[in-house]
Amino acid sequence: MKKLFVLLMSSIVLVSCNNSQKSSEDSTETKAVSTQSVRIKGSETVLPISEKAVQVYLKDHEGANLMVTGGGSGVGISSLLNKSTDIAQTSRKIKFSEKQKIEADGRNLKEVIIAYDALAVIVHPENKVNNLTREQLEDIFTGKIKNWSELGGDDLEILPYSRETSSGTYEFFKDNVMSGKNYASGIMSMPANGSIIQSVGQTKGAISYVGVAYINQSVQPVSVSFDQGETFVAPTAENVKNESYPIVRPLYYYYLVTPEQPEKEFMDFILSDEGQKIVEEVGYISIR
């Protein structure tokens, strides 16, 4: 028994030694090339862009050390405040109170739009309703319209799903589609875009919204009208490009202006042609 214990312990020690050795090698190596270590943290919506951008970026910058973390826009910004991240990625503009807190001790916050995201309204593929006006959307999500037959569809209860109450997407939709009104209190909320797709795909009366990048065959996007029903625009890449699609929001990177500027090279990269190509590959809209 004792032998086994010794064996176990020594193997643990060995492994941890190995690790520390490896890590010290790693860090000296990093120093030789560059001391760059950038932490990116925040919104789930921006994650796919940051993830892919980091993968491509590292091909040319081997020594660099980048970390991408989710958590949400709020976490990203409060991490900026306590210095546990270098870049905060958000799907909403920074809140007034958050900005005041960060700039309170004389720090200078920089805001950069890195991409645009079009929000598509989606329904179950068997739903006959293909066009909705902004006013109808507002009434659906505030709970005034409750049945699809009121909109020319089947006699079926409307089941609106939203993103989590505190995600940037939730607030953007509220401010821009529902003219700032609050959601109906019984609305179902899903923790992530993927679960929304899953739920809408398996629920006949469902309606929800996701970034266009997330759309797949299991759901059907709806054309929307922001001019009282004169023109309905589908959330296609083309319509988004020519700016006729109305529900588009900016995605941000926030960072503090410091003399060291650890994030500068990566920021240059994401705003470069190559970086913006990645934005489009992932399914978002480039800032150009």
Q: Where in 194-253 is the site for another protein (CB under 8 A)? A: 194-195, 197-199, 202-206, 211, 213-214, 216, 218
The dihedral formed by the CA atoms of 70, 74, 77 and 82, expressed in degrees to the nearest 10: -90
Between 170 and 226, whose beta carbon lies closer to another protein?
A: 170
Nearer to another protein, 227 or 232 (CB): 227
3-state secondary structure (DSSP) of residue 158? coil
Helix (H) or strand (E) holding 89: strand 87-90
- Residue found under tokens 């994650």: 47
The residue within the footprint of another protein, chosen from 10, 21, 166, 272 (CB under 8 A), is: 166
Q: Report the alpha-carbon distance of residue 151 to residue 135 in Å, rounded.
A: 12
Rounded to whole angstroms, how far apart are CA atoms 94 and 110?
Answer: 11
- Number of C-alpha atoms within 13 angstroms, CB side, residue 249? 23
Sequence-ordered list of residues with C-beta below 8 angstroms from that of 275, at least 6 positions apart, any chain: 53, 114, 269
CB of 261 to another protein, least distance (A): 20
116 forms part of the interface with another protein (CB under 8 A): no
15 touches another protein (CB under 8 A): yes
Residues in 119-158 that interact with another protein by CB under 8 A: 142, 156-157
Kindly identify the residues of this chain, within the stretch 167-196, that bind another protein according to CB under 8 A. 167-168, 170-171, 180-183, 185-195
Q: Which stretch binds another protein (CB under 8 A): 39-47, 107-115, 241-249, 269-277?
A: 39-47
Q: Is residue 164 at the binding interface for another protein, with CB under 8 A as the rule?
A: yes
Q: CA dist 286 to 49, 118, 158, 203, 270, Å?
A: 11, 11, 34, 33, 10
- The smaller minimum CB distance to another protein, of residues 70 and 232, is found at 70
78 binds another protein (CB under 8 A): yes
The single residue among 47, 151, 177, 285 that binds another protein, judged by CB under 8 A, is 47
Q: How many CA atoms lie within 13 A of 79 on its CB side?
A: 23
Name the minimum Å distance from CB 232 to another protein.
25
